[in-house]
A and B are shown apart, each in its own frame.
Chain A
Amino acid sequence: MLSAQERAHIAQVWDLIAGHEAQFGAELLLRLFTVYPSTKVYFPHLSACQDATQLLSHGQRMLAAVGAAVRHMDNLRAALSPLADLHALVLRVDPANFPLLIQCFHVVLASHLQDEFTVQMQAAWDKFLTGVAVVLTEKYR
């Protein structure tokens, strides 16, 4: 459950990302592949050539989904249902990988926002992304 303050911090963080989804998403993926090379197995074409255009395109798609989650913080299950189906039936990304992506998300935010990335924002955002990961893996079995 998210408190009103947490919701505010989450929205605050999103305001800083909005408009830069592609750039953020691309850097997120780049960090994921560099820091945790085993995650590349889930992105065979993307991670092999690391083509900037493709990274931006896929990054944009992922961050757009995060944006949708932000807009529906109160009902993640309904909003993310199609994505949950996709992850359960098609992608089947092992749940252990989501904390790795979340860590990279924090680092992207931290390195860009620096001191603007307050402890309250980090706490709320970590709670939020963890909730998103739970929903995305909920239908696995």
Chain B
Amino acid sequence: MGHFTEEDKATITSLWGKVNVEDAGGETLGRLLVVYPWTQRFFDSFGNLSSASAIMGNPKVKAHGKKVLTSLGDAIKHLDDLKGTFAQLSELHCDKLHVDPENFRLLGNVLVTVLAIHFGKEFTPEVQASWQKMVTAVASALSSRYH
């Protein structure tokens, strides 16, 4: 899954270099929880998730979003071995966190929309294509150790 051309890698890396991981992380996780409210099932301990503004302003959401995107950022340095890079996290999400891999696909799609918001016209169809490839590959790698 996910064979990246040199162009894909360049696109992904250069765009990521301009992303504020903290802001984007909070935005991405927040939007996931608002647009797909059933994903809130994993975050009972996060406190107030009662409204869109509560979710978007929730400090635990922001912190966790940053954590998730930081991990993604690390993976960008290993695009040719995402399965290896995410092996442990995959086991964690299966054995301890019990997260349906469908959630990885949803999060990936939301991240793409957040990038589109941030980059506007620069987020061309070709750039979107590279990034959708990226998030699909990450979702696949994260579900690869499920059993």
Whether both chains belong to one complex is answered with yes
Chain A interface residues toward B at CB < 8 A: 27, 30-31, 34-36, 103-104, 106-107, 110-115, 117, 119-120, 122-123, 126
Task: Tell me the dominant secondary structure on chain B's binding face.
Answer: helix
Contact A119 B30 (CB under 8 A): yes
- Out of A103, A117, A123, which one reaches B112, CB within 8 Å? A103
Contact B113 A107 (CB under 8 A): yes
Kindly list chain B residues whose C-beta atoms are within 8 Å of the C-beta of A36. Answer: 132
How many A-B pairs fall under 8 Å by CB? 61
Name A29's closest neighbour in chain B (CB-CB): B125
Contact A114 B112 (CB under 8 A): no
Whether A35 touches B128, Cβ cut-off 8 Å, given contacts A103-B112, A111-B117, is: yes
Contact A112 B52 (CB under 8 A): no
Contact B129 A35 (CB under 8 A): yes
- Bound complex: CA A110 to CA B111 (Å): 11
Task: Tell me the dominant secondary structure on chain A's binding face.
Answer: helix
Contact B113 A110 (CB under 8 A): yes
B121 contacts A by Cβ under 8 Å: yes
- Bound complex: CA A80 to CA B135 (Å): 33
- Bound complex: CA A106 to CA B116 (Å): 9
Contact A31 B113 (CB under 8 A): no
Name the distance in Å between B17's Cβ and chain A's nearest Cβ: 19
- Bound complex: CA A126 to CA B38 (Å): 14
Interface string of B44-88 (1 = CB under 8 A from A): 000000001000100000000000000000000000000000000
- Bound complex: CA A90 to CA B31 (Å): 36
Whether A111 touches B120, Cβ cut-off 8 Å, given contacts A30-B125, A35-B125, A119-B56, is: yes
